[in-house]
Amino acid sequence: MIRRRTAHRLAALAVAALTAIPLALATTAPSASAATNQFQGVNWARAGDNFTSGPLVLYGLSSNDSYTTVRAKADAVFAGFERNLGANTVRLPINTYSVGTAWWNSYTGVIDSATARGMKVILSYWDDGRASTGGRLTDAGAFDAMWNTVVTKYGANALVHFEPMNEPHGYSAAEWKNVAAAWLTARPSIPRNRIFISGSGFNQDIRTVCADSRFDGTYLSLHHYTFFSGAKTYDAWVSYLRDAIGSCADRTVIDEFGAPMDTGLNYDDAASTDNFVRYFRATTQVLRELGMGSVYWPGIGGKLTAGQNDDWYAMQKLQGSGTNLTLTTPNATGAGRLRYAWGLTGPDPDPAPGNRLRNTGSGRCLDVPAVSTVNNTQVAIYDCGTGTNQQWAGTSARELRVYGNKCLDARGRGTVNGTAVVIYDCNGGTNQQWTINGNGTITGVASGRCLDVAQSGTANGARVQLWDCTGGSNQAWSRT
């Protein structure tokens, strides 16, 4: 995100001939093409923004944390991003004070946690006052050394992507293209579809980069905020963004955009005259229509808002202490529009007739988190409501259907204790057949095991799984 202070530009350095050592990688991959909506993510930022002349200690981490502690915290944060938003991508900052230092040994726990879950990672260099100042390199050697360390460790991991420089606003468009091209030339073995080239300026202009054949096959990263321009109507915001994208939608990811999430704005209100609501609704609509990926700013952390610990744009709020961390959603309509942009939900999922299934132990209902319609979303318990994500219709085929076309499913046809219970397209499999018993239990036909709230949890969000039937109240359900 832009540093809202005047950038002090230092004397220009010769950077066209960067000195990075080309590295042989274990894998190759095709170029970026077709659509980019496989990137459905959020930024995890440092409290106070990522522009810092020091180590990047992300919000929720401590500079004293070990690798093990960082990884445990990251596991909790990523679980929240997945559950609450359906995110599959995280954008993380790096700088020369973090890479190759003692903190790097711990910080890699964040990257490793994400990739172990199958999440995509975008590593982006941010101004740190050492390798660059004011959006312009001042020490190309330090910049190269940092990137060499990163690529040596993660070059062979196909889930890790590289964004050479965030917001290169100290350069003209022509200068920036030469710097970015030199970065690519020095690292020819990195597959092009794992590289994000920033638009010039504050990542605002991707069209000149898109037109340069030196960047063929790479992704392009665009930033899009209300403060880049004045207030607009909804239609004007749509036109503004489409013009910024031009003919480059099939290569472009908006890896920063955001709006206030803690001021009570209703992002479902199509008639709103609020500029933020118009902007966010227009942005998410364009993303969905063009099949574009996006990475929201921020998931957690970011610039400090007066009286708060984080950014007023933060899509999630961090709760808890130590490694016992959870995420909550401050604005359900904002989260809903983000998921809509990603194609994870329709504007309004069609309701299907059915009943709620109330868990006896908790008093909460069987729930599809965040009204998701995505296959393999694990179900949970949540306060009983009237949403279609809690309406379960039994069928003559012994299915429990939600939304009319998704079935309660033992993931991967699993039958063992701990198998996640998810939603999936109805397919007639025995792992989607259930018996509702007179004692309140619901057993899987394929496994014979009970629908179980993990670890007898009673809190909102407690996950549901298969487990040996024990007679516990966490395995008893009633129709309401």
Number of domains making up the chain? 2
289: phi > 0 → left, psi -120 to 50 → alpha, else beta; which?
alpha
Q: With a cut of 90, say whether residue 4 has pLDDT above it.
A: no
Lowest mean pLDDT among 28-32, 105-109, 164-168, 301-305: 28-32
| 14 part of a folded domain | no
394 in the same domain as 333: no
423 in the same domain as 381: yes
Q: pLDDT digit string (tens) for 120-132?
A: 999 999 999 999 9
The confidence score (pLDDT) of residue 293 equals 97
Q: pLDDT digit string (tens) for 34-81?
A: 579 999 999 999 999 999 999 999 999 999 999 999 999 999 999 999
Is pTM beyond 0.75? Reply is no
**CATH number for the domain including 451?**
2.80.10.50
Alpha-carbon distances of 461 from 71, 313, 362, rounded to whole Å: 21, 23, 11
Mean pLDDT of all residues in the chain?
90
450 in the same domain as 424: yes
322 in the same domain as 398: no
Q: pLDDT digit string (tens) for 213-222?
A: 999 999 999 9
The H or E element containing residue 3 is none
The confidence score (pLDDT) of residue 34 equals 55
Query: What percent of the chain is modeled with pLDDT above 70?
Result: 91
Helices (H), 6-100: 67-85
Q: pLDDT digit string (tens) for 370-389?
A: 999 999 999 999 999 988 89
388 in the same domain as 319: no
The confidence score (pLDDT) of residue 400 equals 94
| 11 part of a folded domain | no
108 in the same domain as 167: yes
Q: Give me the domain span that covers residue 315.
A: 40-341
Domain boundary among 283, 307, 341: 341
Alpha-carbon distances of 59 from 300, 316, 395, rounded to whole Å: 7, 12, 47
Domain boundary among 300, 316, 341: 341
76 in the same domain as 101: yes
Buried b (16+ CB within 10 A) or exposed e, 212-224: beebebbbbbbbb
**CATH number for the domain including 243?**
3.20.20.80
The stretch 281-296 carries a mean pLDDT of 96
Q: With a cut of 50, say whether residue 11 has pLDDT above it.
A: no
362 in the same domain as 275: no
| 133 part of a folded domain | yes
175 in the same domain as 83: yes
pLDDT band at 31 (very low <50, low <70, confident <90, very high): low
| 219 part of a folded domain | yes
75 in the same domain as 153: yes
Domain boundary among 341, 367, 401: 341
| 30 part of a folded domain | no
| 78 part of a folded domain | yes
The CB-side HSE value for 390 (13 A sphere, CA atoms) comes to 20
199 in the same domain as 97: yes
CA distance 115 to 122: 11
229 in the same domain as 95: yes
